[in-house]
Amino acid sequence: MTPEQQTEKAPFDTDAVVDEITRFVAEQTRTTPDVDQDLFTTGIANSMFAMQLVVFLEQAYRVTVAGPDLQLSNFRTIKSMAALVGRLQAESAADSDV
Amino acid sequence: MDEQLIAIVGAGVMGTGISTLVVGAGLPVVLVDVDQGVLERATTAIANGLRHAQLTGALPPGRTPGELRTTLSLSDVAAADVVIEAVTELPDQKAQVLSAVSALVRPATPLISNTSGIPIDEMAAWVKNPDDLIGTHFMNPAYLISMVEVIRGPQTADRTVESVLSLLTRIGRRAVVVHDAPGFVTSRLLHPMINDAAQVVRAGTATVEDVDTLMQGCLGHPTGPLRTADLIGIDNLVDALEALYARTGDERCRPSELLLEKVRRGELGRKSGRGFYNYSEAQS
Residue B280 lies in a domain: no
Rounded to whole angstroms, how far apart are CA atoms B107 and A56?
48
Range of the domain at B239: 186-272
**Tens of pLDDT, residues B4-31:** 999 999 999 999 999 999 999 999 999 9
At residue B39 the predicted structure's pLDDT band, cuts being 50, 70 and 90, is very high
The CATH number of the domain where B154 resides is what? 3.40.50.720
Q: Does A55 touch chain B (CB under 8 A)?
A: yes
Mean pLDDT of B56-68: 89
Q: Which of B113, B148, B179 is the last residue of a domain?
A: B179
Q: Does B125 touch chain A (CB under 8 A)?
A: no
Better pLDDT: A1 or B5: B5
How many domains is chain B built from?
2
Same-domain status, B42 and B141: yes
Contact B184, B117 (CB under 8 A): yes
Angle at B232 between CA B161 and CA B221, to 5 degrees: 90
Residue B281 lies in a domain: no
Residue ranges at the known binding site of B: 10-15, 33, 89, 94, 116, 140, 271
Q: Above pLDDT 70, what percent of chain A?
A: 87
CB-neighbour burial class of residue B178 (10 A; exposed 0-12, middle 13-18, buried 19+): middle
At residue B281 the predicted structure's pLDDT band, cuts being 50, 70 and 90, is low
Whether A9 shows a pLDDT value over 90: the answer reads: no
Range of the domain at A32: 3-97
Estimate to the nearest angstrom the gap between the alpha carbon of A87 and the chain centroid: 11
Which residue among B56, B223, B279 places its CB closest to the CB of A50? B56
**Tens of pLDDT, residues B123-175:** 999 999 999 999 999 999 999 999 999 999 999 999 999 999 999 999 999 99
For residue A46, which residues of chain B lie inside 8 Å, CB to CB?
A: 222-223
Q: What is the ipTM of this complex?
A: 0.82
Mean pLDDT of B229-244: 94
- Which range is least confidently modeled, A3-12, B68-77, B93-102? A3-12
Residue B96 lies in a domain: yes
Mean pLDDT in chain A?
87
Which residue among A46, A48, A55 places its CB closest to the CB of B282? A55
**Tens of pLDDT, residues A26-73:** 988 888 999 999 999 887 888 889 999 999 999 999 999 998 999 999
Closest-approach residue (CA) in chain A for B222: A46
Residue B2 DSSP SS3: coil
What residues of B act catalytically? 137
Residue B97 lies in a domain: yes
Q: Is the dihedral of CA B240, B75, B34, B66 positive or negative?
A: positive
The CATH number of the domain where A21 resides is what? 1.10.1200.10
Mean pLDDT in chain B?
95
Same-domain status, B84 and B35: yes
Which residue among B209, B231, B282 places its CB closest to the CB of A52? B282
Same-domain status, B156 and B52: yes
Residue A80 DSSP SS3: helix
Q: Which of B179, B195, B226 is the last residue of a domain?
A: B179
The pLDDT of residue B283:
42
**Does B280 contact A59 at a Cβ distance shorter than 8 Å?**
no
The pLDDT of residue A98:
56
B226's enclosing H/E stretch is helix B225-232
Q: Pick from A67, A33, A28, A68: which is nearest to A50 by CA?
A: A28
The pLDDT of residue B26:
95
Q: Does B209 touch chain A (CB under 8 A)?
A: yes
The pLDDT of residue A95:
80
Mean pLDDT of B45-56: 95
pTM of the model: 0.88
Closest-approach residue (CA) in chain A for B270: A48
Residue B279 lies in a domain: no
Mean pLDDT of B52-64: 88
Residue B202 lies in a domain: yes
Q: Does A59 touch chain B (CB under 8 A)?
A: yes
Same-domain status, B14 and B153: yes
Strongest mean pLDDT among A41-55, B71-85, B270-284: B71-85
Residue B194 lies in a domain: yes
